Amino acid sequence: MKTQKYSLYAIILITLFALYFLLTTPNNQILYDISLGLISGNIVAITLILIEYFNERKQVLSSFYELATSITSNIGNNIKHTN
């Protein structure tokens, strides 16, 4: 659990740096592409760490069901408001 926590902190820190470069260098295509790659890769890594964490706690199905339901309803509400 301790290793997961430190890994999660490191990934979040790298994601924040990548987001900083993404927002501050819009004219540099190479840094822009690298930043997007880091952010998308780190989102996957964070998701895997959270799945492992919740799987250890035996709550993965109910937690992700609630998350999926919330995301789906928010997307549905946003679509209704834009039309």
DSSP 1: -
| pLDDT surpassing 80 at residue 4 | no
Query: pLDDT value at position 49?
Result: 79
Query: pLDDT value at position 1?
Result: 54
pLDDT confidence tier of residue 7, bands split at 50, 70 and 90: confident
Question: Rounded to whole angstroms, what are the CA distances from 42 to 3, 48, 56?
Answer: 16, 10, 21
Tens of pLDDT along 11-65?
Answer: 888 888 888 877 787 787 777 777 777 877 788 788 877 777 777 666 656 666 7
Query: pLDDT value at position 48?
Result: 79
Separation of alpha carbons 30 and 56, rounded Å: 39
DSSP 31: H
